[in-house]
Amino acid sequence: YTHFWPNTFSLFDDTKKEMIVGAYSSTPLSIGRRCLSPLLSLCVKRSMSQPKTIENITDYMKPYDKSNSRRCGIVARKLGMMQTYTSWGVRVPLTVLQLEEMQVIGHRTPEKDGYRALIIGSTPVKTTKLKGTVLGQFDKEGVDPKRTITEFKVTEDCVLPIGSKVNCSHLVPGQYIDVQGVTIGKGFQGGMKRHGFSGMPASHGVTKTHRRIGGLGGGQDPGRVWKGKKMPGRMGGKKRYQLNLQVYQIDTRHDLVFVSGSVPGAKKSVVKIRDSFFKSPSDALPIPTLPIQVLPKGIIQVPSTSDDPFNSSN
Protein backbone atom coordinates (compact mmCIF):
# COMPACT_ATOMS: atom_id res chain seq x y z
CA TYR A 1 0.00 0.00 0.00
CA THR A 2 1.06 3.58 -0.48
CA HIS A 3 1.50 6.02 2.38
CA PHE A 4 0.83 9.71 2.05
CA TRP A 5 2.82 12.28 3.94
CA PRO A 6 1.83 11.97 7.64
CA ASN A 7 2.14 15.07 9.76
CA THR A 8 0.83 14.06 13.11
CA PHE A 9 -0.90 10.90 14.33
CA SER A 10 -1.42 7.13 14.16
CA LEU A 11 -4.28 5.18 15.75
CA PHE A 12 -5.16 1.53 16.27
CA ASP A 13 -8.80 0.43 16.06
CA ASP A 14 -9.31 -2.63 18.28
CA THR A 15 -12.74 -3.37 16.86
CA LYS A 16 -11.61 -3.60 13.24
CA LYS A 17 -7.97 -4.53 13.95
CA GLU A 18 -6.80 -1.74 11.69
CA MET A 19 -3.80 0.54 11.88
CA ILE A 20 -5.03 3.99 10.88
CA VAL A 21 -2.37 6.55 10.01
CA GLY A 22 -3.77 10.04 9.65
CA ALA A 23 -2.26 13.11 8.12
CA TYR A 24 -3.28 16.72 8.42
CA SER A 25 -1.92 20.19 8.03
CA SER A 26 -2.70 23.34 9.94
CA THR A 27 -2.96 25.23 6.67
CA PRO A 28 -3.96 24.16 3.16
CA LEU A 29 -0.98 22.81 1.21
CA SER A 30 -0.47 24.35 -2.21
CA ILE A 31 1.06 22.06 -4.83
CA GLY A 32 1.52 23.84 -8.14
CA ARG A 33 -1.89 25.30 -9.06
CA ARG A 34 -3.68 22.85 -6.76
CA CYS A 35 -4.66 23.49 -3.15
CA LEU A 36 -5.30 20.56 -0.85
CA SER A 37 -7.65 20.71 2.09
CA PRO A 38 -6.27 20.52 5.66
CA LEU A 39 -7.06 16.81 5.68
CA LEU A 40 -4.33 15.58 3.36
CA SER A 41 -4.91 11.86 3.41
CA LEU A 42 -5.92 8.80 5.34
CA CYS A 43 -4.41 5.41 4.71
CA VAL A 44 -5.31 2.12 6.38
CA LYS A 45 -3.09 -0.87 7.03
CA ARG A 46 -4.74 -4.03 8.27
CA SER A 47 -2.78 -5.65 11.09
CA MET A 48 -3.71 -8.29 13.65
CA SER A 49 -0.99 -7.25 16.09
CA GLN A 50 -0.54 -4.16 18.19
CA PRO A 51 1.23 -1.30 16.36
CA LYS A 52 4.72 -0.14 17.11
CA THR A 53 5.14 3.16 18.91
CA ILE A 54 5.38 5.90 16.31
CA GLU A 55 7.07 9.10 17.40
CA ASN A 56 5.09 12.30 17.02
CA ILE A 57 6.13 13.92 13.75
CA THR A 58 4.89 17.34 14.82
CA ASP A 59 7.87 17.55 17.20
CA TYR A 60 10.09 17.98 14.13
CA MET A 61 7.79 19.96 11.83
CA LYS A 62 8.18 23.72 12.19
CA PRO A 63 7.15 26.70 10.04
CA TYR A 64 9.96 27.39 7.60
CA ASP A 65 11.01 30.96 6.84
CA LYS A 66 13.92 31.11 4.44
CA SER A 67 14.81 34.62 5.63
CA ASN A 68 15.55 33.31 9.13
CA SER A 69 16.29 29.60 8.62
CA ARG A 70 18.46 27.72 6.17
CA ARG A 71 18.36 23.96 6.29
CA CYS A 72 21.10 21.55 5.31
CA GLY A 73 21.02 20.20 1.78
CA ILE A 74 21.54 16.61 0.70
CA VAL A 75 23.90 14.81 -1.67
CA ALA A 76 22.38 12.11 -3.86
CA ARG A 77 23.28 9.91 -6.78
CA LYS A 78 21.23 10.08 -9.97
CA LEU A 79 20.02 6.60 -10.91
CA GLY A 80 18.03 7.55 -14.00
CA MET A 81 14.50 8.43 -15.05
CA MET A 82 11.15 6.68 -14.95
CA GLN A 83 7.50 7.58 -15.19
CA THR A 84 4.36 7.06 -13.18
CA TYR A 85 0.70 7.96 -13.44
CA THR A 86 -1.58 9.84 -11.10
CA SER A 87 -4.98 8.51 -10.07
CA TRP A 88 -6.43 10.55 -12.98
CA GLY A 89 -4.12 8.89 -15.49
CA VAL A 90 -1.79 11.86 -15.99
CA ARG A 91 1.77 10.79 -16.80
CA VAL A 92 4.45 12.21 -14.50
CA PRO A 93 8.15 11.98 -15.54
CA LEU A 94 10.37 11.30 -12.53
CA THR A 95 14.10 11.38 -11.82
CA VAL A 96 15.24 8.83 -9.23
CA LEU A 97 17.87 10.01 -6.75
CA GLN A 98 19.40 7.82 -4.04
CA LEU A 99 21.06 8.91 -0.79
CA GLU A 100 24.11 6.78 0.04
CA GLU A 101 24.58 6.84 3.83
CA MET A 102 24.83 10.62 4.01
CA GLN A 103 26.30 11.77 7.31
CA VAL A 104 27.53 14.94 9.05
CA ILE A 105 31.31 14.67 9.41
CA GLY A 106 32.27 18.19 10.57
CA HIS A 107 31.31 21.77 11.33
CA ARG A 108 32.33 25.24 10.17
CA THR A 109 31.90 27.89 12.85
CA PRO A 110 31.84 31.71 12.58
CA GLU A 111 34.47 31.99 15.32
CA LYS A 112 36.99 29.82 13.50
CA ASP A 113 36.00 29.91 9.82
CA GLY A 114 33.93 33.07 9.48
CA TYR A 115 30.73 31.27 8.48
CA ARG A 116 28.49 28.47 9.76
CA ALA A 117 28.17 25.31 7.68
CA LEU A 118 27.91 21.54 7.88
CA ILE A 119 30.50 19.28 6.28
CA ILE A 120 28.61 16.39 4.70
CA GLY A 121 30.00 13.03 3.62
CA SER A 122 28.33 10.55 1.31
CA THR A 123 29.05 7.15 -0.29
CA PRO A 124 31.13 4.83 1.93
CA VAL A 125 34.63 4.04 0.69
CA LYS A 126 37.35 1.58 1.74
CA THR A 127 40.11 2.92 3.95
CA THR A 128 42.69 1.68 1.43
CA LYS A 129 41.32 4.17 -1.12
CA LEU A 130 42.16 7.24 1.00
CA LYS A 131 45.38 8.92 1.99
CA GLY A 132 46.49 8.86 5.58
CA THR A 133 45.91 12.56 6.13
CA VAL A 134 42.32 12.36 4.85
CA LEU A 135 41.65 9.16 6.77
CA GLY A 136 42.86 10.81 9.96
CA GLN A 137 40.14 13.45 9.68
CA PHE A 138 37.45 10.78 9.72
CA ASP A 139 39.11 8.97 12.64
CA LYS A 140 39.27 12.21 14.60
CA GLU A 141 35.50 12.70 14.36
CA GLY A 142 34.72 9.01 14.78
CA VAL A 143 32.79 8.60 11.50
CA ASP A 144 33.17 6.16 8.63
CA PRO A 145 35.20 7.27 5.58
CA LYS A 146 33.19 8.83 2.75
CA ARG A 147 33.96 9.27 -0.91
CA THR A 148 32.07 12.52 -1.53
CA ILE A 149 32.57 15.50 0.79
CA THR A 150 30.77 18.82 0.47
CA GLU A 151 29.55 21.75 2.57
CA PHE A 152 26.15 23.34 3.11
CA LYS A 153 25.75 26.70 4.83
CA VAL A 154 23.10 26.59 7.55
CA THR A 155 21.66 28.78 10.27
CA GLU A 156 22.13 28.12 13.95
CA ASP A 157 18.75 26.41 14.39
CA CYS A 158 19.56 23.89 11.64
CA VAL A 159 22.94 22.65 12.91
CA LEU A 160 23.19 18.86 13.25
CA PRO A 161 25.64 17.04 15.57
CA ILE A 162 28.62 15.27 14.04
CA GLY A 163 27.68 11.71 13.12
CA SER A 164 24.01 12.53 12.43
CA LYS A 165 22.53 10.83 9.39
CA VAL A 166 20.36 12.62 6.84
CA ASN A 167 17.90 10.50 4.88
CA CYS A 168 15.18 10.97 2.30
CA SER A 169 12.83 11.90 5.16
CA HIS A 170 14.62 15.27 5.18
CA LEU A 171 12.44 16.23 2.19
CA VAL A 172 8.65 16.52 2.32
CA PRO A 173 6.67 15.23 -0.70
CA GLY A 174 5.14 18.26 -2.36
CA GLN A 175 7.88 20.74 -1.52
CA TYR A 176 10.05 22.36 -4.18
CA ILE A 177 13.81 21.97 -4.43
CA ASP A 178 16.79 23.24 -6.45
CA VAL A 179 19.17 20.64 -7.89
CA GLN A 180 22.79 21.28 -8.87
CA GLY A 181 24.68 18.90 -11.14
CA VAL A 182 27.35 18.70 -13.83
CA THR A 183 25.86 18.34 -17.30
CA ILE A 184 26.75 15.44 -19.59
CA GLY A 185 30.02 16.13 -21.44
CA LYS A 186 29.74 16.07 -25.26
CA GLY A 187 33.35 16.80 -26.13
CA PHE A 188 34.41 19.22 -28.89
CA GLN A 189 31.36 20.05 -31.04
CA GLY A 190 30.59 22.32 -33.96
CA GLY A 191 28.38 25.35 -34.08
CA MET A 192 25.28 23.51 -35.28
CA LYS A 193 25.22 21.07 -32.37
CA ARG A 194 26.63 23.39 -29.73
CA HIS A 195 24.59 26.53 -30.49
CA GLY A 196 21.83 25.35 -32.82
CA PHE A 197 23.08 27.15 -35.94
CA SER A 198 21.27 26.25 -39.18
CA GLY A 199 24.47 25.85 -41.18
CA MET A 200 24.98 26.57 -44.88
CA PRO A 201 22.70 25.49 -47.75
CA ALA A 202 22.90 21.91 -48.94
CA SER A 203 23.60 22.98 -52.53
CA HIS A 204 23.60 26.09 -54.74
CA GLY A 205 27.28 26.91 -54.76
CA VAL A 206 28.18 25.57 -51.30
CA THR A 207 31.28 23.41 -51.40
CA LYS A 208 32.38 21.43 -48.32
CA THR A 209 31.13 24.10 -45.88
CA HIS A 210 27.62 22.79 -45.20
CA ARG A 211 28.01 22.64 -41.39
CA ARG A 212 30.28 25.63 -40.85
CA ILE A 213 29.17 28.66 -38.86
CA GLY A 214 29.91 31.19 -41.62
CA GLY A 215 31.42 34.65 -41.19
CA LEU A 216 32.64 35.80 -37.78
CA GLY A 217 31.50 39.39 -38.29
CA GLY A 218 34.92 41.01 -38.24
CA GLY A 219 35.80 43.53 -40.99
CA GLN A 220 37.97 46.60 -41.12
CA ASP A 221 35.81 47.80 -38.23
CA PRO A 222 36.21 46.41 -35.58
CA GLY A 223 39.06 44.48 -37.16
CA ARG A 224 38.72 41.63 -34.66
CA VAL A 225 36.27 39.03 -33.40
CA TRP A 226 34.02 40.15 -30.56
CA LYS A 227 34.54 38.42 -27.23
CA GLY A 228 31.91 35.79 -26.47
CA LYS A 229 31.29 34.94 -30.13
CA LYS A 230 29.46 31.60 -30.46
CA MET A 231 31.96 29.26 -32.07
CA PRO A 232 32.80 25.54 -32.03
CA GLY A 233 34.26 24.32 -28.76
CA ARG A 234 33.87 22.03 -25.82
CA MET A 235 30.24 21.28 -25.02
CA GLY A 236 28.77 20.14 -21.70
CA GLY A 237 30.56 19.20 -18.50
CA LYS A 238 29.49 22.41 -16.72
CA LYS A 239 27.81 23.08 -13.40
CA ARG A 240 24.14 23.82 -13.92
CA TYR A 241 21.05 24.30 -11.74
CA GLN A 242 17.51 23.07 -12.23
CA LEU A 243 15.20 25.23 -10.13
CA ASN A 244 11.75 24.68 -8.62
CA LEU A 245 11.48 20.91 -9.03
CA GLN A 246 8.77 19.21 -6.99
CA VAL A 247 9.46 16.23 -4.75
CA TYR A 248 6.79 13.79 -5.96
CA GLN A 249 7.48 10.93 -3.55
CA ILE A 250 10.11 9.34 -1.30
CA ASP A 251 10.90 5.69 -0.59
CA THR A 252 11.96 5.08 3.01
CA ARG A 253 12.94 1.45 2.30
CA HIS A 254 15.73 2.26 -0.15
CA ASP A 255 16.36 5.93 0.73
CA LEU A 256 15.12 7.20 -2.65
CA VAL A 257 13.82 10.60 -3.71
CA PHE A 258 11.59 10.88 -6.80
CA VAL A 259 11.67 14.35 -8.39
CA SER A 260 9.24 15.56 -11.04
CA GLY A 261 11.15 16.50 -14.18
CA SER A 262 14.75 16.22 -15.31
CA VAL A 263 17.96 16.80 -13.35
CA PRO A 264 21.32 17.87 -14.85
CA GLY A 265 23.97 15.17 -15.03
CA ALA A 266 24.57 11.68 -16.35
CA LYS A 267 23.46 8.46 -14.72
CA LYS A 268 25.39 7.61 -11.54
CA SER A 269 26.53 11.21 -11.21
CA VAL A 270 26.37 13.07 -7.88
CA VAL A 271 23.96 15.99 -7.45
CA LYS A 272 23.35 18.46 -4.63
CA ILE A 273 19.82 19.28 -3.47
CA ARG A 274 18.60 22.25 -1.44
CA ASP A 275 15.24 23.75 -0.53
CA SER A 276 13.92 25.94 -3.32
CA PHE A 277 15.05 29.53 -3.11
CA PHE A 278 12.14 31.01 -5.06
CA LYS A 279 9.26 28.73 -3.95
CA SER A 280 8.92 28.64 -0.19
CA PRO A 281 6.82 25.81 1.28
CA SER A 282 3.33 26.79 2.37
CA ASP A 283 3.51 24.23 5.17
CA ALA A 284 6.06 23.26 7.81
CA LEU A 285 9.34 21.45 7.18
CA PRO A 286 11.40 19.25 9.52
CA ILE A 287 13.96 21.42 11.30
CA PRO A 288 16.79 20.52 11.47
CA THR A 289 15.83 17.11 9.97
CA LEU A 290 13.43 14.20 10.39
CA PRO A 291 14.76 10.74 11.38
CA ILE A 292 13.76 8.10 8.87
CA GLN A 293 12.69 5.76 11.70
CA VAL A 294 9.70 8.02 12.41
CA LEU A 295 8.09 7.33 9.04
CA PRO A 296 6.54 4.00 7.97
CA LYS A 297 8.43 1.78 5.56
CA GLY A 298 7.27 2.27 2.01
CA ILE A 299 6.52 4.96 -0.55
CA ILE A 300 5.20 8.30 0.67
CA GLN A 301 3.89 10.52 -2.11
CA VAL A 302 1.97 13.69 -2.80
CA PRO A 303 -1.80 13.19 -2.42
CA SER A 304 -3.71 13.27 -5.68
CA THR A 305 -5.86 16.27 -6.47
CA SER A 306 -9.63 15.99 -6.39
CA ASP A 307 -10.03 18.19 -9.50
CA ASP A 308 -10.34 16.44 -12.84
CA PRO A 309 -7.39 17.68 -14.97
CA PHE A 310 -9.25 16.71 -18.18
CA ASN A 311 -12.28 18.84 -17.35
CA SER A 312 -11.73 22.33 -18.71
CA SER A 313 -14.50 23.77 -16.54
CA ASN A 314 -12.47 23.19 -13.33
Give pLDDT tens digits for 231-269. Answer: 999 999 999 999 999 999 999 999 999 999 999 999 999
Burial (0-12, 13-18, 19+ Cβ within 10 Å), 183: middle
The reported pLDDT for the residue numbered 122 is: 95
- 152-174: buried (b, 16+ CB within 10 Å) or exposed (e) per residue? bebeeebbbeeebebbbbbbbbb
Closest CA to 104 of 155, 143, 56: 143
Q: 40 or 271: whose pLDDT is higher?
A: 271
DSSP string covering 168-235 = GGGS-TT-EEEEEEEPPP-EEE-HHHHH----S-SSSS--S-TT-----S-STTT-SPPTT---SEEE
Q: State the Cα–Cα distance between residues 314 and 301, nearest whole angstrom.
A: 24
Average the pLDDT over each of 15-29, 71-85, 214-228 and give the range with the smallest value. Answer: 15-29
163: alpha, beta or left, given left = phi > 0 and alpha = psi -120 to 50?
left
Closest CA to 16 of 52, 62, 54, 47: 47
Average the pLDDT over each of 26-35, 124-133, 199-208 and give the range with the smallest value. Answer: 26-35
Contact, 146 vs 122, CB < 8 A?
yes
What is this structure's pTM? 0.79
Q: How confident is the model at residue 42 (pLDDT cuts 50, 70, 90)?
A: very low
Give pLDDT tens digits for 142-193. Answer: 999 999 999 999 999 999 999 999 999 999 999 999 999 999 999 999 999 9
Give pLDDT tens digits for 46-80. Answer: 333 333 334 578 888 888 888 889 999 999 999 99
Strand-pair category, 3-4 with 299-301: parallel
Contact, 139 vs 132, CB < 8 A?
no
The tally of CA atoms less than 13 A away on the side-chain side of residue 70 is 11
**9: enclosing H helix or E strand:** strand 9-13
Average the pLDDT over each of 22-31, 87-96, 119-128, 145-154 and give the range with the smallest value. Answer: 22-31
User: Distance from CA of residue 87 to its chain's centroid?
Assistant: 24
Q: State the Cα–Cα distance between residues 20 and 4, nearest whole angstrom.
A: 12
